[in-house]
Structure 1
Amino acid sequence: MRIVTLLLALAALGCAAAIALAGPGTQLGWWTWGEGLSLIRKVSAPVELGPVGVPPILAAAVLAGVTGLATLFMSSRGIGLFALVAAAAAAAAMQVPLKMRAAFEANPFIHDVTTDFDNPPPIIAGADEERINPPEYVGDKMVPNSDKTVRQAQAEAFPDLKPKLVNASLDETAELVRIILRDMNMEQLDETLTDDGWLIEAAYTSRWFGFVDDFVVRLTPEGPRTRVDVRSKSRVGGSDLGANAARVRAFFEKLDAAAS
């Protein structure tokens, strides 16, 4: 019983470690980002066992927990406690793919959002950086497994992403934007002042996988006020799980608070 419990505990810990290390391993160059995501899927996707499908990490967590309790009271307190800890670790790690799947199902399969479909802020500074998704806006491209284009999918899913008018001058708004970008842990890449206004470019790097998203803010004077347009695009990946839209919303919330 103790050996079985120990093996099941190690299996549960192994599944938890696979999820926990998927992102850091990508950043360390142990595997590609695609392989890192595949690692998560391998331990969390259901495996058919007769008429039902059970994720390996769920099976390992349940079996480690059950045998751990039995071992705790019947034979070995140490191994039993170890198995219960391993089961708890697997259960905690299992929340990651569950949340990812929920986000995938709740958001359109896009990775580029903008407040201006007709003239989206251009990605210039980040255009030549390592990337798979082109810097150009492809709003007329069809979304995979959908009858909608990218812009139609965004408009339906995120109708609140629109240009914003700020009651501040062009330069005052530009300074607010710089402060907000730093506050949101973005790296400012470049800024350009033209006759039309400011174009401020930044990049956000996710902590877990190290995914990089371009974030561009365009400021245009409209009388005493300033129009703010934003674009956020992932450099890799097909679906951003709603991350770019959430980032634009967070930016506008901070801008509203700073400009009020």
Structure 2
Amino acid sequence: MNLPSITHKIAIASLVLLALSTIGVRFQWYSYQAGLLMFSLAGLLSFISICASAFFTRRTQKATGRRQLSQAALIALPAIIFFSLSLFSGVGAPLIHDISTDTENPPQFIAATQQRRTSDNSLVYAASNRELQKQAYPDIQSIPTLHKVAAAQGKAREIAENLGWQVNYQESGHIEATVSSFWFGFTDDVMIRISETPSGSIIDLRSASRVGKGDLGVNAKRIREFSQQYLK
């Protein structure tokens, strides 16, 4: 078996692993750790095939071989693109998965405690998160508002739904929702707490991933998006 043929097969393998990494996790054929391993391997194989294609295409004499190498580079593109986007999106993010606008008295989930499996991350807010979050996300803060609790809650729910959050629980001063990631379908739980103040109310959010030690900055980004929409 010659190099162009091997490179072509490696590229196909990267594409297959890319697809299986998400399909298997979404259908719970295997653990998310196995899915992430396959996803990483897909990125590695795609990188190898693209490098081989770039280095050997002009050095290959046969037209068939050059065509195989060019095809390999195209086939490998999806895996390297998705892997690179995932890798660079989380650069600089601390290894935490539970973010709150109030780290001293974080909002407490109600519905999510019943929806999580025993193997999922705990919903007990870790004290070690406080300093890590303050260093990485100093802008994550409570949202003071002149709205009374009911009005603030109505606006908060509308924003949550516009952002694509699936609201599944609500009571006065309390909203809970879930958000699923695009690729693996990982579920994060989000809570909005609205507390009365002398001038109106104050809104606190908490976003926590069900699986994984780190979140690649996704939970902080989600809270930022909500805050920006509310303060418009």
- Normalised to the residue count of structure 2, the TM-score between the two structures is 0.89
Change (3 A) 1:81 1:256: farther
Hey, what does 2:161 align to over in structure 1? 182
1:16–1:94 CA contact under 8 A, matched in 2: no
- Residue 240 of structure 1 is matched in structure 2 by 215
Which residue of the other structure, out of 106, 121, 137, is the alignment partner of 1:120? 106
Q: Hey, what does 1:137 align to over in structure 2?
A: 125
Deviations 1:19-56, CA, capped at 9 Å, x for gaps? 34312321022322110001123344xxxxxxxxxx44
Q: Which residue of 1 aligns with 2:24?
A: 25
Distance verdict in 2 for CA 1:66–1:228, change over 3 Å? same
Residue in 2 that maps onto 1:95: 81
d(CA) in 2 for partners of 1:130 and 1:165?
30
Alignment partners' CA distance in 2, 1:30 and 1:84:
34
Q: Counterpart in 2 of 1:63?
A: 52
Asked whether the 8 Å contact 1:204–1:213 carries over to 2, the reply is: yes
Task: Report the CA distance between 1:64 and its aligned residue.
Answer: 3.4
Amino acid at match of 2:145: V
| Conserved 8 A contact 1:186-1:202 | yes
Number of equivalent positions: 230
Quick one: distance in 2 between partners of 1:235 and 1:103?
19
Candidates 94, 107, 117, aligned match of 1:108? 94
1:92 and 1:27 map into 2 onto residues whose CA distance is: 19
CA distance in 2, matches of 1:4, 1:218: 59
Quote the RMSD (CA, aligned, Å). Answer: 2.2
The CA deviation at 1:92 is 4.2
Could you report, residue by residue, the CA deviation over 1:77-128 in whole angstroms, capped at 9, with x for unpaired residues?
Answer: xx64453233133244223333433344411100001011221111110112
**Other-structure match for 2:7:** 8
Query: What does residue range 202-213 of structure 1 map to in structure 2 within 5 Å?
Result: 202-213=177-188
Please give the alpha-carbon distance, in whole angstroms, between the structure 2 residues aligned to 1:241 and 1:90.
24
Alignment partner, residue 194 of structure 2 = 219
**Aligned residue in 2 for 1:51:** none
Structure 1, unpaired ranges of 5+: 45-54, 141-148
Mapped partners of 1:90, 1:75: distance in 2: 20
Which residue of structure 2 lines up, in the alignment, with residue 35 of structure 1?
34
What is the 5 A alignment of 1:155-174?
155-174=134-153
Q: Which range is displaced more, 3-12 or 167-176?
A: 3-12
Q: Which runs of 5+ in 2 are unaligned?
A: none
- 1:157-180 deviation per Cα after TM superposition (whole angstroms, max 9, x unaligned): 001111111232221211111111
Give the percent of matched residue pairs that are identical in Structure 1 and Structure 2. 26
In the alignment, the residues of structure 1 paired with residue 224 and residue 201 of structure 2 have an alpha-carbon distance, to the nearest angstrom, of 18
Q: Structure 1 residue aligned with 2:205, among 230, 240, 245?
A: 230
CA distance in 2, matches of 1:75, 1:102: 36
Normalised to the residue count of structure 1, the TM-score between the two structures is 0.80
Q: Does 1:191 align with 2:170?
A: yes
Question: What whole-Å deviation, never above 9, does each CA across 1:211-237 have from its counterpart, x for those lacking one?
Answer: 111100001122342200000000111
Cα distance in 2 for residues equivalent to 1:68 and 1:129: 53
